[in-house]
C-alpha cells in the first residue's frame, strides 16, 4: 500500500495526516472520535446504550407513576402516549440492540483470535450512525412546546400502526422523527451485521473451525444474518411511511386504496426476527458464563448451536402471531399458530442444555453466574407465557393486554437485560484489569430479580383481568388497582438496582481488585491475553486445536473425562497474578499493523441527521447533509487504511 | 462467601414462587368487569378452557425449570475453591434427543385443540343469528341495527349502550371510520380488530341477561383509554320489547314526515 502513495503530498493530505496523528494519542478526545479499534467502539456502544437505557428507564418510571392509582392525572394522556412510544422504541433500538453490538465489538475478535473486525472503519461508521439516529430520535422531544409541558416525541406507538401513523391522525413532526431516526438506526445495524458476518467467516485464527467457535460467536453470526435480512424489510416500510407523511403518498391510506395491514405485515416480518436479534446475543453470553462458572463445557454444544440456527430460520415464519386478531382468517391463523408453538422447541432445548451444564458442575455463584441463572429462570417464564399466547383463540383474549406486556418483558428484560448485566460483570476484568465488586453485584442481582418480578408478574394478572395496553387511565372498579400499584413499586425497585450497578461500576473502575488475565479460570481465548487487552489483542495469532482452547492449554482430560492440570498450579488459584508466557515485552510488537484512526466514518454519519432534518423542515439542508455523506465516503475510500511511517 | 449469603438464596426463590402462584390463582376468582376468566358466553368459555390447556403444563414446566435452577445451583455448588474442575461432560445425545422430541410432541399435541377451535370459532353464524353493524371511530363505538326500522323503513341508529339478545348468536360486523381499533367484550369472547377498508365479522353469544363491559384494545390515539362500551344482554322477551320501543316513532312534538332524514340513515 505504501507503494501506491503519491510521492508529493498536498497541504490537505498533510493536514489530514496531522489530524490522524493527533488521534493516535489515545488520551485525547480526538482518538475517540476517530477510533477504529473494535474495543474502543465497543466501549462507545456500551456507554451510549447505557445512557439510552437510563432515558428509557426514566420514561418507564413516568409511565408507571401515571398508572400507580386509577384515574390518575400526573402526566396526562398526551405525554403518556408519547412516552410509551419512546420507551418501546428506545429499549428495542437504542438499548438492547446496541448493547448487544457492544458485546459483538468487544468480544468477537477476542473470541476468534483476531486483531480487529474485518472492516474497522465500517464499524466506526456503524457506531456513529447509530448515535446520530438515537440522538435524532430523542431530539423529537424538543419539537413540541416544552414550556407549556408539551412533548414533541412520536405518539404512534413503537409499532407505528397505519393509518394512525399518517399525519392526519398523528400531526406534528414526532412520527417523522421516528421514521427517519429508525431509518438511520437500520443503516447502522446493516453495516454492523455485514461486518460481523465477514469477520466471523474470514478472520478466525488458524484451527478455529466453525464448530470450535464459542457459542457467543455463533449467536453473533446468526443474529447478524437476521439483521441483514430483517432490516431491509423495515427500511422499505419506513421509506413508504416517510413518503406518505412528507410527500403525500398513499401506501397506507385506506381512503386512497392503500392497505393499513401492509404496514403490519412488513413491520412484523421485520419485528419477529427482531425479537431474536434481541435475545440470541443474550443466549450467547450466558452460554459462555454458565460453562465457565460450572467449570464444565457447555452441555451439548451442537444442540445449542443448531437450535440457535433453527430459531434463526423459524423466526421468519411466525410473524402473523402478532396479528391473530386482525382477521386474516382460519387458514393463516392455524398455520402461524402451529409454527409458533413449534418455535418453542429449539428455545426449550437451549434451556435444558444450560441446566445440563449445571448438572455435575462445580458451580461458583459469582455475580455473572447469578445473572446467567436468573436469565434462564426468567426467560423460561417469558417463554412459557409465550406458549400460552401461541394458542390462537385464547390469544384473542390476551392480545393487546398487559398479559402481553408481562410476556415480552420476561423475555427481553428477564432474558436479554439480565444476560447483558451478567456479560458486563463477566468481561469487565478483561478490559479494565479489575474485578467488579461481587457483593454489590449480588445485591444488585437480588434487587433486580425482586423488582423485576414485582413489576412484571402482576401484569399477567391485570392483563387476564382485561386491562388493555397503552391506556393512560382506568376506572377504580376494574380490579386492576392492586396489580398496578405493585407494578409501580417494582419499577422503582428496579431503578434502585440500576443505581447499585452504576455505583459498583464506578467504584470498581477506580478501585476494583486486580483481576489478572484469567480471574474466572476461563475456557476461551480472550482469557489467554493480558488484561486490560493490549491494542493489538494477540501478540501472536493463536493456533487453535480445540473447542474451549484456552481451557485445554491449562488442563487435559483422561479417558474417563477426569481433569488433570497441565501446568501444576495453573488452576489452583483463580486470582493468581498472570504468569503465562503471552506477556512478552510490548516492545516486540511494534511491527503489528493495525488500521489507523479515521475521521471519515464520523463525517459520513453526521450527514444523515442533516438530511433527515432537512426533509422535515427545510429541503436546503438536504444537499448539505448529502455532501457531508459523500465527502465522508470519498475520503474514507481514498485514504490508506494503515498509515505507514 | 459468608454462610448467610449462601443460605439466603434457598428461601427467597421458593417464597417468591409461592407468592407468584398464589397471585396467579387468586386471579381466577375475582369478579371484575373485564375478567377473562369470568366468561359469560360460549366463545369466552372455550377460549378460557384453551388457555388452561396451555397454562397448566406451562406452570408445571415453570416450577420444574425454576426449581432445577435453584436446586442444581445449590446441589452442585463448589465446595473447595482449590479443587480441580469436575468431570467434563460434553453432552448426551440420547438425553438431548429426548428433550427435543418430547417438547415437540407436547407442542403439537397442544396445537390440535387449538386448530380445532380456530375452525370451530371461524364457522358461519347460525341461521337465527342477530346482525349488528358496529362502527369504531376515535373514541367511541356506535351500533346500528339493520333489523330495526321505523314505520318508514328507516334504519335506527343506537348511540350508546346497545342491547343484544341472550342465548342467540350475535354477529358484529365491524367497520372502521378512521384508524384501526379493536372490538373487545372480554366476558363474551376475544377481540377482533376493526380495520379501515375491511369488514371483520365477530360472532359472540351471551348465556344470560346481564351487563357486559368492553373496551377498544388497539391503541388509536389520544383518548384510547376512554374508548369503552357497555352492552346490555336481554332475555328474548326483554330484547323484543326493547326493539319495539326503539322502532316506535319518537314521541317528539314535531312529528312530520321529513323525507330528507333518509339521507342520514346510512
pLDDT in tens, A17-50: 777 777 777 778 888 998 999 999 999 999 999 9
Do B182 and B232 lie in a common domain?
A: yes
Q: In chain A, what residues touch B73 (CB-CB under 8 Å)?
A: 358, 363, 365, 373
Using 50, 70 and 90 to split pLDDT, how confident is the model at B149?
Answer: confident
Q: Does some domain include residue A10? A: no
Q: In chain B, what residues touch A557 (CB-CB under 8 Å)?
A: 88
Q: Identify the pLDDT of residue A575.
A: 44
Q: What's the mean pLDDT in B173-194?
A: 96
Tell me how close the Cα of B156 comes to any Cα of chain A, in angstroms. Answer: 26
Q: Which range marks the domain in which residue B39 is found?
A: 3-77+92-121
- Residues B10-19 have pLDDT tens digits of 566 667 767 7
Count the domains in chain B.
2
Do A576 and A601 lie in a common domain?
A: no
- Residues A235-245 have pLDDT tens digits of 999 999 999 99
Cα–Cα distance, A186 to A232 (Å, whole number): 8
Do A102 and A121 lie in a common domain?
A: yes
Cα–Cα distance, A198 to A119 (Å, whole number): 8
Q: Does some domain include residue B82? A: no
Do A581 and A601 lie in a common domain?
A: no
Count the domains in chain A.
3
Q: Does some domain include residue A13? A: no
The closest of B218, B180, B175, B177 to B200, measured between CA atoms, is B175
Among B4, B52, B185, B225, which would you mutate to test the A interface (most chain A Cβ atoms within 10 Å of its Cβ)? B225
DSSP string of A464-513? HTTPBTT-S---GGGS-HHHHHHHHHHHHHHHHHHHHHHHHHHHHHHHPP
- Residues A55-69 have pLDDT tens digits of 999 999 999 999 999
Number of Cβ within 10 Å of residue A283's Cβ equals 29
Strand A555-557, strand B189-194: pairing: unpaired
- Taking an 8 Å cut-off on Cβ atoms, the answer to whether B51 and A388 are in contact is yes
pLDDT at A402 over 80: yes
Do B134 and B244 lie in a common domain?
A: yes
Percent of chain B past pLDDT 70, that is, above it, reads 82
Do A554 and A483 lie in a common domain?
A: no
Q: Does some domain include residue A326? A: yes
Q: Does some domain include residue A26? A: no
Q: What are phi and psi of B215, to 5 degrees?
A: -160, 150
Cα–Cα distance, A471 to A375 (Å, whole number): 29
Q: Does some domain include residue B236? A: yes
Report which of residues B18 and B214 the model is more confident about.
B214
The CATH number of the domain holding residue A258 is 1.20.210.10
- Residues B157-171 have pLDDT tens digits of 776 789 999 999 999
Do B115 and B13 lie in a common domain?
A: yes
Q: In chain A, what residues touch B4 (CB-CB under 8 Å)?
A: none
Report which of residues A9 and A95 the model is more confident about.
A95
- Taking an 8 Å cut-off on Cβ atoms, the answer to whether B193 and A325 are in contact is yes
Do A567 and A601 lie in a common domain?
A: no
Query: Contact, B178 vs A162, CB < 8 A?
Result: no
Using 50, 70 and 90 to split pLDDT, how confident is the model at B151?
Answer: confident
Do B66 and B167 lie in a common domain?
A: no
Do B147 and B198 lie in a common domain?
A: yes
| Residue in the structure block whose three cell numbers are 478466525 | A204
Its ipTM equals 0.90
Q: Does some domain include residue A195? A: yes
Cα–Cα distance, A243 to B5 (Å, whole number): 59
- Taking an 8 Å cut-off on Cβ atoms, the answer to whether A387 and B110 are in contact is yes
Q: Does some domain include residue B259? A: no
Percent of chain B past pLDDT 90, that is, above it, reads 68
Tell me how close the Cα of B162 comes to any Cα of chain A, in angstroms. Answer: 21
Do A214 and A279 lie in a common domain?
A: yes
- Residues A117-154 have pLDDT tens digits of 999 999 999 999 999 999 999 999 998 877 777 888 99
Query: Contact, B196 vs A163, CB < 8 A?
Result: yes
pLDDT at A470 over 60: yes
Using 50, 70 and 90 to split pLDDT, how confident is the model at A80?
Answer: very high
Q: Does some domain include residue B258? A: no
Q: Which range marks the domain in which residue A191 is found?
A: 45-512+542-547
Q: Does some domain include residue B169? A: yes
The CATH number of the domain holding residue B189 is 2.60.40.420
Chain A, nearest residue to B93 by Cα: A300
Do A433 and A556 lie in a common domain?
A: no
Do A77 and A119 lie in a common domain?
A: yes
- Taking an 8 Å cut-off on Cβ atoms, the answer to whether A349 and B96 are in contact is yes
Q: What is the mean pLDDT of chain B?
A: 85
Do A303 and A391 lie in a common domain?
A: yes
Do B141 and B183 lie in a common domain?
A: yes
Query: Contact, B204 vs B126, CB < 8 A?
Result: no
Chain A, nearest residue to B122 by Cα: A330
Query: Contact, B166 vs B208, CB < 8 A?
Result: yes
Domain end, chosen from A585, A612, A636, is at A585
Do B110 and B170 lie in a common domain?
A: no
Cα–Cα distance, A464 to A404 (Å, whole number): 10
Q: Does some domain include residue B261? A: no
Q: In chain A, what residues touch B87 (CB-CB under 8 Å)?
A: 296, 360, 560-563
Q: Does some domain include residue B68? A: yes
- Taking an 8 Å cut-off on Cβ atoms, the answer to whether A341 and B88 are in contact is no
Do A259 and A276 lie in a common domain?
A: yes
Q: Does some domain include residue B36? A: yes
Q: Does some domain include residue A630? A: yes
How much is the pTM? Answer: 0.91
Residues with Cβ within 8 Å of residue A460, at least 6 apart in sequence: A385, A402, A403, A406, B24, B27
Do B68 and B9 lie in a common domain?
A: yes
Do B107 and B158 lie in a common domain?
A: no
Q: Does some domain include residue A536? A: no
Do B110 and B180 lie in a common domain?
A: no
Q: Does some domain include residue A193? A: yes
Do A122 and A245 lie in a common domain?
A: yes
- The minimal CB distance from A301 to the residues B36, B91, B179 is found for B91
- Taking an 8 Å cut-off on Cβ atoms, the answer to whether A468 and B184 are in contact is yes
- Taking an 8 Å cut-off on Cβ atoms, the answer to whether B33 and A77 are in contact is no
Give the A:B interface size as CB pairs under 8 Å: 324
Tell me how close the Cα of A500 comes to any Cα of chain B, in angstroms. Answer: 18
pLDDT at A1 over 60: no
Radius of gyration of chain A (CA): 25
Do A278 and A371 lie in a common domain?
A: yes
Q: Identify the pLDDT of residue B158.
A: 74
pLDDT at B216 over 60: yes
- The minimal CB distance from A327 to the residues B179, B195, B196 is found for B195
- The minimal CB distance from B186 to the residues A161, A397, A562 is found for A397
Amino acid at each position: 500500500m505504501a507503494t501506491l502513495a503519491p510521492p508529493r503530498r498536498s497541504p490537505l493530505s498533510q493536514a489530514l495526516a496531522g489530524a490522524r496523528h493527533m488521534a493516535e494519542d489515545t488520551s485525547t478526545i480526538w482518538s475517540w472520535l476517530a477510533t477504529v479499534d473494535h474495543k474502543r467502539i465497543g466501549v462507545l456502544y456500551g456507554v451510549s446504550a447505557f445512557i439510552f437505557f437510563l432515558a428509557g428507564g426514566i420514561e418507564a418510571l413516568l409511565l408507571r407513576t401515571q398508572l400507580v392509582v386509577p384515574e390518575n392525572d400526573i402526566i396526562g394522556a398526551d405525554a403518556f402516549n408519547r412516552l410509551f412510544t419512546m420507551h418501546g422504541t428506545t429499549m428495542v433500538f437504542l438499548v438492547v440492540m446496541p448493547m448487544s453490538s457492544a458485546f459483538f465489538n468487544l468480544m468477537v475478535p477476542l473470541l476468534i483470535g483476531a486483531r480487529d473486525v474485518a472492516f474497522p472503519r465500517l464499524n466506526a461508521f456503524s457506531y456513529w450512525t447509530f448515535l446520530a439516529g438515537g440522538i435524532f430520535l430523542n431530539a423529537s422531544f424538543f419539537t413540541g412546546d416544552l414550556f407549556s409541558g408539551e412533548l414533541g416525541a412520536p405518539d404512534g406507538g413503537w409499532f407505528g400502526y397505519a393509518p394512525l401513523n399518517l399525519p392526519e391522525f398523528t400531526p406534528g413532526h414526532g412520527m417523522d422523527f421516528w421514521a427517519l431516526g429508525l431509518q438511520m438506526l437500520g443503516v447502522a445495524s446493516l453495516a454492523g451485521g455485514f461486518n460481523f458476518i465477514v469477520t466471523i467467516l474470514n478472520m478466525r485464527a488458524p484451527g478455529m473451525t466453525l464448530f470450535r467457535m464459542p457459542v457467543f460467536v455463533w449467536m453473533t453470526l446468526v443474529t447478524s444474518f437476521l439483521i441483514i435480512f430483517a432490516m431491509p424489510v423495515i427500511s422499505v416500510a419506513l421509506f413508504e411511511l416517510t413518503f406518505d407523511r412528507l410527500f403525500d403518498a398513499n401506501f397506507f391510506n385506506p381512503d386512497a386504496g392503500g392497505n393499513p395491514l401492509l404496514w403490519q405485515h412488513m413491520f412484523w416480518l421485520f419485528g419477529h426476527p427482531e425479537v431474536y436479534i434481541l435475545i440470541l446475543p443474550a443466549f450467547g453470553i450466558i452460554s459462555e458464563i454458565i460453562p465457565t462458572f460450572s467449570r464444565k463445557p457447555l452441555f451439548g454444544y451442537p444442540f445449542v448451536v443448531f437450535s440457535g440456527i433453527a430459531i434463526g430460520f423459524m423466526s421468519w415464519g411466525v410473524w402473523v402471531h402478532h396479528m391473530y386478531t386482525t382477521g386474516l382468517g382460519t387458514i393463516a391463523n392455524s398455520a402461524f399458530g402451529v409454527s409458533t408453538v413449534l418455535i418453542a422447541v429449539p428455545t426449550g432445548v437451549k434451556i435444558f442444555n444450560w441446566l445440563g451444564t449445571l448438572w455435575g458442575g462445580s458451580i461458583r455463584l459469582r455475580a455473572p453466574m447469578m445473572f446467567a441463572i436468573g436469565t434462564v429462570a426468567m426467560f423460561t417464564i417469558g417463554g412459557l407465557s409465550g406458549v400460552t399466547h401461541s394458542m390462537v383463540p385464547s390469544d384473542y383474549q390476551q392480545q393487546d393486554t398487559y398479559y402481553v406486556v408481562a410476556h415480552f418483558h420476561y423475555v427481553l428484560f428477564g432474558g436479554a437485560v439480565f444476560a447483558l448485566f451478567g456479560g458486563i460483570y463477566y468481561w469487565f476484568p478483561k478490559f479494565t484489569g479489575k474485578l467488579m465488586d461481587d457483593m454489590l453485584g449480588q445485591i444488585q442481582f437480588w434487587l433486580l430479580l425482586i423488582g423485576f418480578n414485582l413489576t412484571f408478574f402482576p401484569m399477567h394478572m391485570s392483563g387476564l383481568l382485561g386491562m388493555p395496553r397503552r391506556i393512560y387511565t382506568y376506572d377504580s372498579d376494574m380490579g386492576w388497582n392492586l396489580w398496578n400499584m405493585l407494578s409501580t413499586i417494582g419499577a422503582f425497585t428496579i431503578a434502585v438496582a440500576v443505581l447499585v450497578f452504576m455505583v459498583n461500576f464506578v467504584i470498581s473502575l477506580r478501585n476494583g481488585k486486580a483481576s489478572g488475565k484469567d480471574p474466572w479460570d476461563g475456557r476461551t481465548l480472550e482469557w489467554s491475553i493480558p488484561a486490560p487487552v493490549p491494542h493489538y489483542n494477540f501478540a501472536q495469532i493463536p493456533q487453535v486445536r480445540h473447542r474451549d482452547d484456552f481451557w485445554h492449554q491449562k488442563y487435559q482430560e483422561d479417558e474417563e473425562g477426569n481433569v488433570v492440570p497441565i501446568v501444576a498450579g495453573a488452576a489452583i488459584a483463580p486470582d493468581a497474578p498472570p504468569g503465562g508466557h503471552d506477556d512478552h515485552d510490548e516492545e516486540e510488537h511494534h511491527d503489528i499493523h493495525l488500521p489507523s484512526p479515521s475521521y471519515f466514518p464520523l463525517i459520513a454519519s453526521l450527514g444523515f441527521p442533516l438530511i433527515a432534518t432537512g426533509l422535515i423542515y427545510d429541503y436546503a439542508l438536504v444537499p448539505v447533509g448529502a455532501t457531508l455523506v459523500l465527502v465522508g465516503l470519498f475520503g474514507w475510500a481514498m485514504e490508506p487504511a494503515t498509515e505507514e511511517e | 462467601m459468608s454462610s448467610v449469603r449462601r443460605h439466603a438464596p434457598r428461601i427467597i426463590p421458593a417464597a417468591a414462587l409461592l407468592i407468584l402462584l398464589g397471585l396467579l390463582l387468586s386471579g381466577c376468582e375475582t369478579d371484575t368487569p373485564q375478567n377473562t376468566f369470568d366468561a359469560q358466553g360460549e366463545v369466552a368459555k372455550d377460549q378460557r378452557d384453551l388457555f388452561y390447556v396451555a397454562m397448566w403444563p406451562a406452570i408445571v414446566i415453570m416450577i420444574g425449570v425454576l426449581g432445577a435452577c435453584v436446586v442444581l445451583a445449590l446441589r452442585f455448588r463448589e465446595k473447595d475453591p482449590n479443587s480441580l474442575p469436575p468431570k467434563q461432560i460434553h453432552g448426551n445425545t440420547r438425553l438431548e434427543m429426548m428433550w427435543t422430541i418430547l417438547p415437540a410432541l407436547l407442542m403439537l399435541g397442544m396445537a390440535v385443540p387449538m386448530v380445532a377451535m380456530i375452525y370451530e370459532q371461524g364457522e358461519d353464524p347460525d341461521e337465527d343469528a342477530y346482525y349488528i353493524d358496529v362502527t369504531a371511530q376515535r373514541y367511541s363505538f356506535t351500533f346500528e341495527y339493520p333489523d330495526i326500522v321505523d314505520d318508514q323503513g328507516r334504519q335506527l341508529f343506537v348511540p350508546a349502550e346497545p342491547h343484544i339478545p341472550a342465548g342467540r348468536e350475535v354477529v358484529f360486523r365491524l367497520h372502521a371510520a378512521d384508524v384501526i381499533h379493536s372490538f373487545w367484550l372480554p366476558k363474551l369472547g376475544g377481540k377482533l380488530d376493526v380495520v379501515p377498508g375491511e369488514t371483520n365479522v365477530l360472532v359472540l353469544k351471551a348465556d344470560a341477561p346481564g351487563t357486559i363491559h368492553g373496551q377498544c384494545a388497539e391503541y388509536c390515539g389520544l383518548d384510547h383509554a376512554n374508548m369503552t362500551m357497555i352492552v346490555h344482554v336481554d332475555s328474548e322477551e326483554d330484547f323484543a320489547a326493547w326493539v319495539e320501543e326503539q322502532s316506535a316513532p319518537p314521541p317528539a312534538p314535531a312529528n312530520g314526515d321529513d323525507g330528507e332524514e333518509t339521507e342520514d340513515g346510512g
